[in-house]
C-alpha cells in the first residue's frame, strides 16, 4: 500500500459526486462513484447502477472507451474498495487488472466479508499501485447505510421531521398540512428515495392515511413501507397498503385483523418486546430489515414512535426541517424521556444547515 498523493483528494471529491448519483439507484448495493484520470485529466467517470447492473468501475471504463480514451497506466479513484468476488457481476478488481490500470486509489475498505481487503490485495498482487483512505470520512458518510449494515447487521436510521420554530409538528387535533413549503416537501422525497425502507407508526396511518411512497418521476427503485402497529390496527383500506411491499410490525397477534391485512397485501411480522409488553421490539425490527438487505431506514412518524426510537438509541441521523412560523401549542417532535437536567439532554452534531425554499434544513448526527 502506497501513501496518498497531494492531488488525490481533488480527484476523489469528483468520485464522491459520482457516488451521489447512485444514492437512489444502487441499494442494496453500495452507492459508489469512480473517476479515471490520465495525464492530469478525467478520461472516464461512472457510478453503480441498479442491482444486477454494472458497478462504478465498469461504468467509468465504459465511459472512457466510449470517448475513445486510453486507460493504460491511468489512475482510478473509487469511493469504495473494488470488489473481488463473483456475485451478480464479475469482480471489478479483475476488470481493472485486465484493462492495465496503473494505480487504484480507494476511499474506504469494503467490510463485506466477501471483499474485506481482498480486492486491494488482488490489485497489489497484479503489480498495480494501491492507496486507500483518501477522503475516508466523507466516503464513509456517502455509504453510511451499507457500511453500517455490513458491520452491525442493522440499517442506518434517519429520522425525518418537520416542525415550527417552537418545535410543533401538528396542532393538538393532529392537523399538520402543510408546515413546510413545496421545496422542503420535494427535498423529503429525495431522502425517502435513498431509503430501503420507510417506517411510520399506526398513529400516523390512522390520522393522515399517508401513502409513504416516493413521488419523483425518475425514481426506479422503491423502498419497503413498514408500519409499527402493536395491535394490528392498520385499516385494510389504508393507502399505505396499496401496491404491496408493506410490512406490519406487530406485538400482538389478532387472527381476524391479520387475515384482513394479509388479504390487503401486507406482510406481518410478530415482534413483541419482551421487556415492554404490548410494544414492538424496534431493535428486532431493524435486525429483520437488515436481513432483508435494507441499508437505510427513513423514519417518518409521530412523537410516540420517534421518541421510542430515540430513547432506545436507535437513531443515527436526524433531518429536521424548520418552518418560520409558530403554533403556540401542539404536538412535539418526539416524546422522549425527560433528562435528569437541562444540561444532561443528549446533544447532536450539526453536520449541515441550509435554507430549502422558505424553510431551514438541519442534518444532525450522533456525536462521536
Which of these, 324, 325, 320, lies nearest to 352 by C-alpha position? 320
DSSP code at position 151: H
Which of these, 237, 286, 279, lies nearest to 257 by C-alpha position? 237
DSSP code at position 190: H
- Phi, psi dihedral angles at 54 (to 5 degrees): -65, 150
Which of these, 271, 367, 252, lies nearest to 313 by C-alpha position? 367
Q: Which three cell numbers stand for residue 3?
A: 501513501
DSSP E strands in the chain: the ranges are: 33-38, 41-47, 75-78, 103-106, 129-132, 156-163, 168-170, 197-201, 224-228, 246-250, 267-270, 296-299, 317-322, 331-332, 349-356, 359-365
Give yes or no: 57 in active site: yes
Three-class DSSP category at 313: coil
**Given 57, 81, 300, 317, which residue is catalytic?**
57
Contacts of 192 (CB under 8 A, 6+ apart): 198, 212, 213, 214, 223, 298, 300
Which of these, 240, 290, 244, lies nearest to 267 by C-alpha position? 244
Contacts of 271 (CB under 8 A, 6+ apart): 249, 250, 251, 280, 281, 284, 285, 288
Strand order in the sheet with 41-47: 41-47, 33-38, 75-78, 103-106, 129-132
**Helix 56-66 and helix 8-20, axial crossing angle in degrees, nearest 10:** 100
Kindly list the catalytic residues: 57
Amino acid at each position: 500500500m502506497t501513501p496518498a498523493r497531494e492531488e488525490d483528494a481533488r480527484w476523489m471529491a469528483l468520485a464522491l459526486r459520482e457516488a451521489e448519483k447512485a444514492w437512489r439507484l444502487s441499494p442494496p448495493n453500495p452507492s459508489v462513484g469512480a473517476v479515471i484520470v490520465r495525464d492530469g485529466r478525467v478520461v472516464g467517470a461512472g457510478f453503480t447502477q441498479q442491482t444486477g447492473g454494472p458497478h462504478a468501475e465498469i461504468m467509468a471504463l465504459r465511459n472512457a472507451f466510449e470517448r475513445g480514451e486510453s486507460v493504460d497506466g491511468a489512475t482510478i479513484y473509487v469511493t469504495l474498495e473494488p470488489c473481488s468476488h463473483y456475485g451478480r457481476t464479475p469482480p471489478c478488481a479483475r476488470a481493472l487488472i485486465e484493462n492495465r490500470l496503473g494505480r487504484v486509489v480507494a476511499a474506504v475498505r469494503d467490510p463485506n466479508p466477501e471483499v474485506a481487503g481482498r480486492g486491494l490485495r488482488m490489485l497489489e498482487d497484479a503489480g498495480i499501485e494501491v492507496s486507500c483512505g483518501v477522503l475516508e470520512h466523507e466516503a464513509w458518510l456517502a455509504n453510511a447505510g451499507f457500511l453500517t449494515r455490513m458491520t452491525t447487521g442493522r440499517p442506518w436510521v434517519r429520522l425525518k421531521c418537520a416542525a415550527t420554530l417552537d418545535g410543533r409538528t401538528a396542532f393538538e387535533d393532529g392537523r399538520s398540512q402543510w408546515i413546510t413549503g413545496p421545496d422542503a416537501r420535494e427535498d423529503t422525497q429525495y431522502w425517502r428515495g435513498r431509503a430501503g425502507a420507510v417506517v411510520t407508526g399506526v398513529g400516523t396511518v390512522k390520522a393522515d392515511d399517508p401513502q409513504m411512497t416516493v413521488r419523483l418521476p425518475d425514481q426506479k427503485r422503491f423502498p419497503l413501507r413498514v408500519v409499527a402497529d402493536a395491535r394490528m390496527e392498520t385499516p385494510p383500506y389504508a393507502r399505505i397498503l396499496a401496491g404491496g411491499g408493506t410490512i406490519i410490525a406487530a406485538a400482538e397477534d389478532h387472527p381476524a385483523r391479520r387475515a384482513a391485512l394479509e388479504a390487503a397485501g401486507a406482510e406481518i411480522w410478530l415482534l413483541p418486546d419482551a421487556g415492554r409488553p404490548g410494544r414492538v421490539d424496534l431493535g428486532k425490527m431493524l435486525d429483520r430489515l437488515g436481513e432483508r438487505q435494507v441499508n437505510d431506514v427513513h423514519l417518518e412518524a409521530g412523537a410516540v414512535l420517534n421518541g421510542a426510537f430515540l430513547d432506545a438509541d436507535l437513531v443515527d441521523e436526524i433531518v429536521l426541517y424548520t418552518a418560520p412560523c409558530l403554533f403556540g401549542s401542539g404536538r412535539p417532535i418526539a416524546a422522549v424521556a425527560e433528562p435528569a437536567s437541562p444540561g444532561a439532554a443528549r446533544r447532536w452534531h450539526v453536520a449541515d444547515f441550509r435554507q430549502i425554499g422558505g424553510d431551514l434544513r438541519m442534518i444532525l448526527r450522533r456525536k462521536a
